[in-house]
Amino acid sequence: TETQPKDFIRNIIAEDLANNKHDGRLATRFPPEPNGYLHIGHAKSICLNFGVAEEMGGVCHLRFDDTNPIKEETEFIDAIKEDVQWLGFDWGEHEYYASNYFEQLYAFAVQLIKAGKAYVDDLTGEQMRELRGTLTEPGQNSPYRDRSVEENLDLFERMRNGEFQDGEKVLRAKIDMAAPNMNLRDPAMYRILKAHHHRTGDAWCIYPMYDFAHGQSDSIEKVTHSICTLEFADHRPLYDWFIEQLDIFAPRQYEFARLNLGYTVMSKRKLQQLVAEKHVSGWDDPRMPTLVGMRRRGFPAKAIRSFCERIGVGKSDSWIDMSVLEDCVREELNEEAPRAMCVLNPLKVVITDYPEGQEEIFSAPIHPQKPEMGQRQIPFSREVYIDRDDFMEDPPKKFFRLGPGREVRLRYGYVIKCEEVIYNDAGEVVELRCSHDAETLGKKPEGRKVKGIIHWVSAERALPVEVRQYDRLFNVESPGASKEIDFRDEINPDSIKVLSPCYAEPGLALASIGEAYQFERLGYFCVDSRDSRSDALVFNRTVTLRDSWAK
């Protein structure tokens, strides 16, 4: 087609396809390690890998990179699948596990030993580090580097058979201890770990290292384009070296810039810590940058996908502001979310000239731009609640809401005027007494301008709900960036504010789990999937109507 691909990865793929490389076949993969829940950074990788496959007629494999038995759990595998599906992607039959290749990887290792390209080393981790050299100094060969092929084959087999303890021996690639690229200084290929694996059980007590497992898994699956983040650029020579030595199908690795999002953390180790130490309520806490957290918070999958599209795929690391993501969420919810009124900090207003016991029903659009969504019915009576923020005892001129002697319109209803302010003994405002202009329903008031329109809820028919307002989880843009400060000391202590009771228009009683609403004038809110009950609704504030982060 004539359209220009959007980024350098798509450019490369388009060219490869045009040149009929790999017979015009395209296969990518998303390779999560099942040691935690997916976060918004993973979404970038998912959208890229699954996205190009979808757009350019290829397939994308979902491969669990489950080569580390210690930290991995089946719970995470299920959660990862659910998240990928939630984002709207489908791996079809292409679900793979690196652990399924253990036997093949072992055979590859034996092949390298036989070729004199790998050896068993008895050095301790510490000794190996000492001999590894530095960026400016070459390393030194291990005294075990020149073991014979026979001895290496024997020792490696005995490693597999469990004759040695954890850490006693490793299998290393025999490359070059003076290589400028540290990854090529005889990297470890296998280590001994007498640990139970969630899929292979106790079948193995040696496990392949990432660098030996990853590229070979790509090759076994005949992945054509292995797309990963920039920090693996230095591993590419090693990736290529193994493939070349083994003389197996050669995928190519390409690196793109990872997503860094301000005021949050994305390392799984840190996210795990937040959960374990109860700084948050779980992986799905609405303040977490995880996909389960964002889903619970009310971020639509479509908004996350359009965010990934908007930030694009580049080659240099950069920081993205949370407001970019929130704008995508607003755009999506503005289109979709039904409107409702909800008073967060209730202040009672008595309309003294409105008959007691009388009720009127006002009609309002469910969505102002989408008449096809229909109308909603809003009861009005003598007593209503308004938000405290919409009243000031001594308002400045530009305050167009309520103040003593001032007028304001109740949205979809009458213009009311504040005639009297009632205080409690502590001098706090507890109630307003107002009059109403009966001629103002759907009409402008006679002879004067009333600029302000506020939301409100009939006191008698108000639905009490709990509302949880979230703020950023950290106080600094890049938590943990400084070596002296623990990232946990940078947690924002006020990242959650629970408001209860709030009063919602009665129609919200039918709101169900996950449903998103715009609370007029306030923002977007959704029914919490964990703590909400049909008779005690809990709403999460997803985002405010406008960007409030710049405050």
Residues forming a β-bridge with 64: 97
Pick the piece of the chain touching ligand ATP (CB under 6 A) from 113-121, 152-160, 260-268, 303-311: 260-268
Site residues for ligand ATP, 265-294, by CB under 6 A, read 266-268
**65 annotated as a binding-site residue:** yes
In sequence order, which residues have a C-beta less than 8 Å from that of residue 183 and are 6 or more positions away? 211, 234, 235, 237, 238
Site residues for Mg ion, 24-43, by CB under 5 A, read 33
Position closest to ligand ATP via CB: 41
**Cβ nearer to ligand ATP, comparing 292 with 502:** 292
**276 annotated as a binding-site residue:** no
Pick the piece of the chain touching ligand ATP (CB under 6 A) from 39-47, 363-371, 373-381, 533-541: 39-47
**34 annotated as a binding-site residue:** yes
Pick the piece of the chain touching ligand ATP (CB under 6 A) from 157-165, 240-248, 263-271, 330-338: 263-271
**40 annotated as a binding-site residue:** yes
- What number of H helices and E strands is found in the chain? 12, 27
**43 annotated as a binding-site residue:** yes
**Cβ nearer to Mg ion, comparing 139 with 187:** 187
Q: Is 33 tagged catalytic?
A: yes
Peptide bond into 251 cis (omega under 30): no
3-state helix, strand, coil in the chain (%, to 5): 30, 25, 45
Q: How far is the CB of 32 from ligand ATP (least distance, A)?
A: 4
**45 annotated as a binding-site residue:** yes
352 makes contact with ligand ATP (CB under 6 A)? no
Report the DSSP pairing between strands 523-527 and 456-458.
unpaired
Q: How many CB atoms lie within 10 A of CB 306?
A: 18
**Cβ nearer to ligand ATP, comparing 252 with 455:** 252
- Do 26 and 224 form a contact (C-beta atoms < 8 A)? yes
**270 annotated as a binding-site residue:** no
Question: What does the alpha-carbon distance between residue 273 and residue 547 come to, in Å, rounded to a whole number?
Answer: 29
Which ranges of 165-228 does DSSP label H, i.e. alpha helix?
Answer: 210-220
Catalytic residue among 6, 21, 33, 348: 33
Catalytic residue among 185, 268, 401, 468: 268
Question: What does the alpha-carbon distance between residue 240 and residue 261 come to, in Å, rounded to a whole number?
Answer: 31
Q: Is 72 tagged catalytic?
A: no
**9 annotated as a binding-site residue:** no
φ and ψ of 322, to 5 deg: -55, -25
Question: What does the alpha-carbon distance between residue 415 and residue 392 come to, in Å, rounded to a whole number?
Answer: 17
Choosing from 181, 183, 229, 281, the residue that interacts with ligand ATP (CB under 6 A) is: 229
- Binding-site partner at residue 12 among ligand ATP, Mg ion, none, CB < 5 to 8 Å by type: none
Q: How far is the CB of 366 from ligand ATP (least distance, A)?
A: 38
- Do 323 and 265 form a contact (C-beta atoms < 8 A)? no
12 makes contact with ligand ATP (CB under 6 A)? no
**35 annotated as a binding-site residue:** yes
Q: How far is the CB of 33 from Mg ion (least distance, A)?
A: 5
- Do 158 and 152 form a contact (C-beta atoms < 8 A)? no
Query: How many residues bind to ligand ATP according to rule CB under 6 A?
Result: 15
**Cβ nearer to ligand ATP, comparing 33 with 54:** 33
259 makes contact with ligand ATP (CB under 6 A)? yes
- Do 432 and 421 form a contact (C-beta atoms < 8 A)? yes
Q: How far apart are the first and last CA of the chain?
A: 46
Q: How far is CA 130 from CA 123, 127, 133, 348, in A?
A: 10, 5, 7, 73
Choosing from 9, 16, 28, 44, the residue that interacts with ligand ATP (CB under 6 A) is: 44
Site residues for ligand ATP, 19-38, by CB under 6 A, read 31-33
Q: How far is the CB of 405 from ligand ATP (least distance, A)?
A: 56
φ and ψ of 420, to 5 deg: -155, 140
Choosing from 13, 28, 37, 41, the residue that interacts with ligand ATP (CB under 6 A) is: 41
- Binding-site partner at residue 41 among ligand ATP, Mg ion, none, CB < 5 to 8 Å by type: ligand ATP
For residue 25, with 0-12 CB atoms within 10 Å meaning exposed, 13-18 middle and 19 or more buried, which class applies? middle
Question: What does the alpha-carbon distance between residue 78 and residue 180 come to, in Å, rounded to a whole number?
Answer: 41
- Do 123 and 145 form a contact (C-beta atoms < 8 A)? no
Residues that bind ligand ATP (CB under 6 A): 31-33, 41-42, 44-45, 65, 228-229, 258-259, 266-268
Residues that bind Mg ion (CB under 5 A): 33
Residues with catalytic function: 33, 258, 268
Known binding positions? 33-35, 39-45, 65, 210, 229, 258-259, 266-268
